Each structure stands twice: as structure tokens, then as C-alpha cells.
């Protein structure tokens, strides 16, 4: 381009178009927000039913909608515990409420505090008291900020400040989990913010009140250079910050994303110390507060970006970037002289280049897209805006479906652990879900969560009752059939397959056949996404074009039409499980159980199989009972094809065990043995293939294959 980019009067509009094309437009931002709010509601309700006082918050760029495919931001999940009654004075203490005093003195950094607890119970072992508490002076019991580290159930890859980081699998973002305390009080140091107003009309009084109502989060991390590293806690206003982010208009959001892209690019290319997205967000807040809303429009995007960069340069020169709510908290505190020198050189280049730096940002092909817009030429190889929207929509639906499956597993774990009354406890879970939905009648997210999770629980309840029906009466009662039909709306296949499985086990082959053929007719292999979160497999199903296209037509309500969950059976449903699959209930010896990941592989005491292989297995068995040889042969062929071609199977070893038993039935023990060996290649232990090999060898010795 012959002239400086910043001199072109159309730059802002063209830049706005580019940001829209890469996914920073209102409908996609809103979809991101709703998806992550829905997932946090799913988690919170699951914790509530488990009797845990925990609220889940999805924070950061993903839930704000302030990210792109190229930025690939982490998912920040905060677990806010409500175990303590935080107070500002001991006069506010309540008997037996777990009172904790927020202490701030000359030794605490701005925005930080100590947590003084009541004297620990004398019955606590000494090592427990020493692990969690520090006795300061004669009678001040201070809670250590390391108290969560050893109690975290999941093994994390690293610790990043207060966050426990988990590396994402293919198709998943990395996850930063923060465990913290929720406090109802708005920070003392931030109270002045509630009355101080900037030059603009943002934030409004309503937004300020909403921010105050969020309280604060007490995060287990000390300030830089604190003399009490294991005792100081950060007072976080992350929930209030989310309120502010949700109130921004699309131009303000685009400006923030542009800043992140700029500094991501130039941090990678130089030795410049990284500027966190939190600093950039704070800069944006200050600039929005001190300007009129009319200045934040699409045709002024580049001017808004320059304003933010100029404010950031001022902060670097002053060596002070004030926290938006707590002015005394300098976000640059503890930075070295090298940081300021390097940052100043880089920011000066950006402010003096008159927009030319935009043509060096390759993230999301921003440079090529902008050049194409400005020169009105066509640049080959640029992904179209519609394809990007489809990709993001598919990824979001995939995340919701996986989170739904995890919550379903946790609900089933509750039922399983209840012992001899699984039916009663499944009914309890459904009752609690219904209560939450009724109490939150005005909360659309709670209603949506109920609609998502309830059918899965109805299906499991129906299967448990059907198992009892078959044991007592050898048939399924009309009431149980109604429960199955309610559960059939969970997704494309899993609820219906549980019903078909129960029909098969009760001897009702005609209705089992009709239902299985209906499932097959509705199962579009080119658009149905396989969902399983039981195993740590590489996930690629969300890339299917047919799936992504359908995801563009709605939100989470699409899950029932375009996803296929794995089929889960508890031991209490054993009479609804075909004999061949029932072996999965006994996949582990006592020794093998020692090698399980306790908090991830609890499902190994159940029988779980992917939907598509199970569909063809049931068809094979049902057609065999009905003496429909041609259809049985076709089902057997389809069964093998599904195992070979479905990339997203979470329980391929189980499918191989099932088809191995079918080969035994076909009088082909050598091929059956091959299937069991392939199964063991996936999992050597905690695998029913070990049992099947022993059975097969025994049958060969006795020259009897049909066992």
C-alpha cells in the first residue's frame, strides 16, 4: 500500500468488517457468553445436588466472547466455595457459621488481605492444624493460601499463580482452574469507585449496583514481594469485571481483542516481557470510563485503538497501571526496569507507526484480510466469515455436550454410590432438578439446564425400574415405557438405545426392532457428533461440516438432534443389559482397580458403550432372534464398519469385545480372538477382553464355541 494505513478515512470501517469476519460480532459474542454461562450453571447445579456449597464461574476471554480462533484463549474456571462467613469485624460473627475475619494492615499490599479464623477445633490433629493454619502472635490463627493445593482432586500440569492449569486435549482449550472463597462484601478499598464517575456515561448506576452485588472472590495468591507469601490472599473483583465486560458494545470489544492480538504478536517476535490480557482489559476500562459512548462506534475503531495504546504508554511511563476498582493496587508493581524499557520501546513503535503495525499481525489472517478490504482485491486462501462462524458454533455446542456428559456421569455416580436404593435416589435427583427449575422459573439458564439433564436421568431411572420389572414380571410396565419415552429426547440415540436394550432383554423383539430401525433412520453419520467424556481421547468430531452447519441454526437445544452420547448402564440396570455387554460390569480384578484414576475412571464399574456400535450390535442380536438372516448379516457388516471408521469412539475396546462375541456366535473363534487382542491393545487392564479370552480358550479346549 502506497500511503500510511492510518491516513485512510475508511480504515476504521474496514477494520470493523475484518473483526466481524473473524468472529467478533454481536451474535457470536452473545453465543459464546450464553454457552459458557450455561456450562457454569450445569456445574453449579451438579454441585448443589451433591450437597456442595460451590458456585462455578467461567471467566476470561472465552466466556466474555473476547477471543478468536487464532488467539485460542484458555478456559478460566473459578470454583467459589461458600463454606465461610466472611466478616469485617468480630461483632458480625455468627455462632457455628465458620467465621473468617478479613484483615488488612500495613503489611498487606493493596487489594490483598489475611484471613483470620476462629481457633481451630482442639480435636484436630497437630499436623492438620499446621498444614492449614499459621499462629500469628498469641491468638491469631491465619489461614494459609496453600490450603487448596493438596486437596485438588485432579492432577494439574502446572500452577500459574492461583490457577491450577490443565493441558487441553485435541479440540479442547487448556483449562485454568481456580479454587477460591466467595465473599459477599464489596472490597473496602473499592467503595469509592461506586460513587466516582468518569467523563463518560459508563458504567451506569445499574451496572455499578450489579457490580457491588457480586461481592468479591478471595483468591489463594499473595502479592509480589510479600513478606508473608503463604498467608496473604488476593481480593479479586473478577465477577464485577465480568459485569463490565458484558456491558461493553461491539466496538469496545473489538478494540480489546485487537490489543490482545497486537501484543500476542509482538511478544512472540521480540524479547519484550509479556503484557497480560488483564492489564489490557484494565486499560480498556479506564478509556471507556473517561470517554463518551458516542466515541465508541465502528467508524472510529482505529481512533479508539490509538486512545487505548496512548493510555497504556502513559501507564508505562508512570510505571503505574491502577487497578480499575482499587486504585492503590498498581498492576505493574514488582516489574523490573527491563520491563519498562522494553515495553516503552514497543508501545512507542505502535503509537508512531500510524496503523502500519496492523499489516504485521498474522493471527486469524488479520493482515491479509485488512489488505484485501483496503485494496478491494481477492486474496486466496482466506477462510470465509460463514465458515468461521460455523466452526465457533460447532465448538461451543461440542463443549456444552461434553460438559453435559460429565454432569450426567456425576449424577449417575451419586445414584451408584447410594447402594441398595438406586431407583429411589435417581428419583431424588430428578426431584431436586425439578425443584431448582421451579424456584428459578425466571432464570432461563436454569430451565435450559433442566431440559438438558432431566431426560438423561429419566432414561436411567426407567432402565433401573425396567430391570426390576423384567426380574419380577418378565415385561416392561406401561409406566416404565412412559419414562423411557421422556428419556428418549436426551440426544439422537442413547436414551432410545436404553429403551431398545430393555425391550430386547424383556423378549419384546418386535418393538425392539421397530425402535432400532427408527434410530438408524434418524442417525445421520455426516452430521451427528459422538459425545463421550469418559476417556482422554483425541476429539475430532466437531470438525464435521454437517455438524457445524446445523450448529449455526440454534444453541444448546440442538444437542438432542445432532449429538450421540455413549450409553451408560449401572449395575442396578443389569436385567436391561444383554449378556454380552454385562461382562463390562466385571472388567476389573481387585488388582486392576488399584490402577484406576479414582476421580476419572469411576465409570469402570458400569457397562458403557458408544451409541453407533451398540445400535448395530442390538440389531444383530434382535434380527437373529427374529430369524431375519439377511438383515442380521447387514447389521453385522455395519457393526464392523462403525468400529473401523468412527474416529471419535470413546469405548472402542468395548465395541471390539462385543463384536468378538458375535464372531464366536458366527463360529469364527480365530477372528474373535483377534478382536479381543485389538481390544487389549487399547487397554491392557480394566478390560473385559481378559475374561473373554479365558472363556474362548476354555470353549476351544472343550470344542464348544456357542457359550
pLDDT tens digits, one per residue of 346-376: 899 898 888 999 999 999 999 999 999 998 8
pLDDT band for position 131 (50/70/90)? confident
- More confident: 58 or 156: 58
425 vs 235: which has the higher pLDDT: 235
H or E segment and range at residue 129: helix 126-132
Instruction: State residue 127's pLDDT score.
Output: 56
Give pLDDT tens digits for 34-86: 999 999 999 999 998 888 889 999 999 999 999 999 998 888 899 999 888 99
What are 546's three cell numbers?
A: 454437517
Least confident residue range of 123-132, 277-286, 476-485, 659-668: 123-132
In this predicted model, which residue has the larger pLDDT, 179 or 517? 517
pLDDT at 177: 79
Most confident of 106-120, 135-149, 407-421, 680-694: 680-694
The pLDDT value recorded for residue 514 is: 98
| Domain made up of 5-375: CATH architecture | Orthogonal Bundle (1.10)
Q: C-alpha cell of 633?
A: 448379516
Which one is predicted more confidently, 381 or 619? Answer: 619
**Which three-class secondary structure state does DSSP give residue 489?**
coil
Q: Which three cell numbers stand for residue 556?
A: 444448546
75-81/54-59 β-pairing: antiparallel
Query: For the chain, which residues make up each domain, given as ranges?
Result: 5-375, 387-575
**pLDDT at position 157:** 38
pLDDT score of 449: 92
Residue 314 has pLDDT above 80, yes or no: yes
Q: Where are the alpha helices (DSSP H) in 474-558?
A: 478-487, 494-506, 509-522, 545-551
Give residue 154's pLDDT: 38
Query: By the 8 A CB rule, do 243 and 210 touch?
Result: yes
Q: What pLDDT is attached to residue 83?
A: 84
Please give the backbone phi and psi of residue 70, each rounded to the nearest 5 degrees, phi first.
Answer: -70, -40
Name which of 95, 89, 38, 35 is nearest 67 in CA terms.
35
Region 670-686: mean pLDDT is 96
pTM: 0.90
pLDDT number for residue 4? 74
pLDDT attached to residue 163: 46
Extended beta strands in 184-290, E state: 216-219, 233-236
Interatomic CA distance for residues 600 and 416, integer angstroms: 15
Copy the grid coordinates of residue 698: 476354555
Q: How far apart are CA 41 and CA 432, in angstroms?
A: 15
Q: How does residue 122 score in pLDDT terms, banded at 50, 70 and 90?
A: low
Q: Are strands 233-236 and 216-219 parallel, antiparallel or unpaired?
A: antiparallel
Evaluate if residue 653 carries a pLDDT over 70: yes
Query: Which H, E and C letters describe 280-310, residue by residue?
Result: HHHHHHHHHHCCCHHHCCHHHHHHHHHHHHH
Amino acid at each position: 500500500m502506497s500511503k500510511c494505513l492510518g491516513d485512510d478515512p475508511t480504515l476504521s470501517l474496514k477494520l470493523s468488517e475484518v473483526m466481524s469476519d473473524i468472529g467478533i460480532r454481536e451474535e457470536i459474542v452473545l453465543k459464546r457468553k450464553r454457552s459458557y454461562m450455561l456450562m457454569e450453571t450445569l456445574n453449579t447445579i451438579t454441585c448443589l445436588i451433591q450437597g456442595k456449597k460451590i458456585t462455578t464461574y467461567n471467566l476470561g476471554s472465552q466466556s466474555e466472547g473476547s477471543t478468536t480462533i487464532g488467539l485460542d484463549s484458555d478456559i478460566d474456571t473459578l470454583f467459589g466455595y461458600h463454606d465461610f462467613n466472611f466478616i469485617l469485624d468480630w461483632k458480625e460473627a455468627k455462632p457455628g457459621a465458620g467465621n473468617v475475619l478479613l484483615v488488612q494492615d500495613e503489611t498487606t499490599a493493596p487489594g490483598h488481605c489475611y484471613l483470620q479464623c476462629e481457633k481451630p477445633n482442639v480435636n484436630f490433629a497437630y499436623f492438620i492444624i499446621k498444614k492449614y493454619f499459621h499462629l500469628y502472635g498469641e491468638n491469631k490463627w491465619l489461614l494459609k493460601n496453600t490450603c487448596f493445593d493438596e486437596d485438588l482432586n485432579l492432577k494439574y500440569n502446572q500452577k500459574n499463580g492461583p490457577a491450577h492449569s490443565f493441558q487441553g486435549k485435541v479440540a479442547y482449550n487448556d483449562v485454568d482452574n481456580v479454587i477460591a472463597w466467595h465473599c459477599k462484601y464489596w472490597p473496602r478499598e473499592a467503595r469509592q469507585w461506586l460513587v466516582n464517575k468518569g467523563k463518560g456515561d459508563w458504567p451506569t448506576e445499574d451496572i455499578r449496583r450489579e457490580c457491588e452485588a457480586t461481592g468479591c472472590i478471595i483468591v489463594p495468591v499473595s502479592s509480589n514481594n510479600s513478606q508473608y507469601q503463604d498467608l496473604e490472599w488476593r481480593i479479586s473483583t473478577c465477577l464485577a469485571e465480568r459485569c463490565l465486560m458484558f456491558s461493553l458494545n461491539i466496538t469496545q470489544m473489538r478494540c480489546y481483542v485487537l490489543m490482545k492480538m497486537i501484543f500476542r504478536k509482538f511478544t512472540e517476535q521480540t524479547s519484550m516481557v509479556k503484557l497480560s490480557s488483564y492489564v489490557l482489559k484494565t486499560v480498556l476500562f479506564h478509556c471507556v470510563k473517561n470517554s463518551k459512548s458516542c466515541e465508541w462506534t465502528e467508524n472510529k475503531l482505529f481512533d479508539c485503538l490509538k486512545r487505548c495504546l496512548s493510555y497504556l504508554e502513559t501507564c508505562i511511563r508512570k510505571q503505574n497501571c491502577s487497578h480499575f476498582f482499587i486504585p492503590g493496587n498498581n498492576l505493574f508493581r514488582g516489574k523490573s526496569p527491563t520491563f519498562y524499557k522494553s515495553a516503552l520501546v514497543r508501545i512507542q513503535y505502535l503509537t508512531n507507526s500510524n496503523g502500519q503495525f496492523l499489516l504485521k499481525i498474522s493471527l486469524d489472517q488479520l493482515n491479509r484480510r485488512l489488505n484485501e478490504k483496503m485494496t478491494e482485491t481477492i486474496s486466496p486462501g482466506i477462510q470465509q466469515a460463514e465458515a468461521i462462524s460455523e466452526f465457533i458454533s460447532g465448538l461451543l455446542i461440542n463443549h456444552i455436550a461434553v460438559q453435559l456428559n460429565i454432569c450426567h456421569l456425576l449424577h449417575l455416580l451419586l445414584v451408584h454410590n447410594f447402594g441398595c436404593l438406586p431407583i429411589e435416589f435417581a428419583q431424588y435427583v430428578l426431584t431436586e432438578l425439578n425443584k431448582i427449575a421451579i424456584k428459578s422459573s425466571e432464570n432461563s439458564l436454569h430451565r435450559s439446564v433442566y431440559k438438558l439433564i432431566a431426560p438423561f436421568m429419566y432414561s436411567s431411572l426407567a432402565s433401573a425400574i425396567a430391570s426390576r420389572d423384567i426380574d419380577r414380571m418378565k415385561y416392561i410396565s406401561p409406566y416404565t415405557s412412559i419414562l423411557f419415552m421422556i428419556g428418549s429426547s436426551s440426544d439422537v440415540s442413547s436414551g432410545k438405545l436404553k429403551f431398545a436394550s430393555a425391550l430386547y432383554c424383556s423378549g419384546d423383539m418386535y418393538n425392539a426392532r421397530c425402535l432400532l430401525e427408527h434410530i438408524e433412520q434418524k442417525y445421520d453419520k455426516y452430521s451427528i457428533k459422538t459425545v463421550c467424556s469418559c476417556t482422554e481421547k483425541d476429539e475430532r468430531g466437531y470438525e464435521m461440516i454437517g455438524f457445524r452447519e446445523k450448529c449455526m441454526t440454534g444453541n444448546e437445544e440442538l444437542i438432542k438432534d445432532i449429538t450421540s452420547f455413549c450409553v451408560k448402564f449401572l449395575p442396578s440396570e443389569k436385567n436391561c443389559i444383554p449378556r454380552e455387554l454385562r461382562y463390562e460390569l466385571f472388567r476389573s480384578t481387585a488388582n486392576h482397580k488399584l490402577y484406576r484414576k479414582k476421580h476419572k475412571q469411576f465409570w469402570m464399574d458400569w457397562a458403557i458403550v458408544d451409541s453407533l456400535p451398540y445400535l448395530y450390535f442390538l440389531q444383530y442380536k434382535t434380527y437373529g432372534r427374529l430369524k431375519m438372516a439377511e438383515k442380521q448379516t447387514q447389521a453385522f457388516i455395519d457393526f464392523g464398519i462403525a468400529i473401523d471408521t468412527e474416529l471419535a469412539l470413546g469405548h472402542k475396546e468395548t465395541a471390539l469385545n462385543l463384536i468378538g462375541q458375535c464372531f464366536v456366535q458366527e463360529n469364527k473363534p480365530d477372528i474373535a480372538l483377534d478382536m479381543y487382542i485389538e481390544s487389549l491393545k487399547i487397554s491392557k487392564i480394566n478390560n473385559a477382553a481378559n475374561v473373554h479370552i479365558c472363556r474362548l480358550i476354555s470353549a476351544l479346549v472343550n470344542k464348544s464355541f456357542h457359550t
